[in-house]
Structure 1
């Protein structure tokens, strides 16, 4: 991916539409996933709770949060 991005950066006018579309979709997908997974602890919360799980906070404090 890095090599393809570098090649397209150097010569964006190259005739490789499918590669351009793939790379744009890949980057957008990565942004969406990163945005959704910013706080993974929220995905572990049972419905109706507003406080995060203390075990997850402890893991995060120790730097081992999953």
Structure 2
């Protein structure tokens, strides 16, 4: 019995990767990679212009403050 397992998915411009990792030991249980189809490539996430976690949460913090102040 393995217990808890992390399932990690990722991709590059040409391949998709799937990895299963034993959460307790950190050992890789299973992994596979597949070449992306032409259709999949145009749906890839662009990593340019990514903002920080703190910047992404800023609008949420403002809305929460407004809600707490009754606005």
Q: Which has the higher contact order (CA 8 A, sep 6+)?
A: 2
* TM score, norm. by length of structure 1: 0.29
Q: Which has the higher strand share?
A: 2
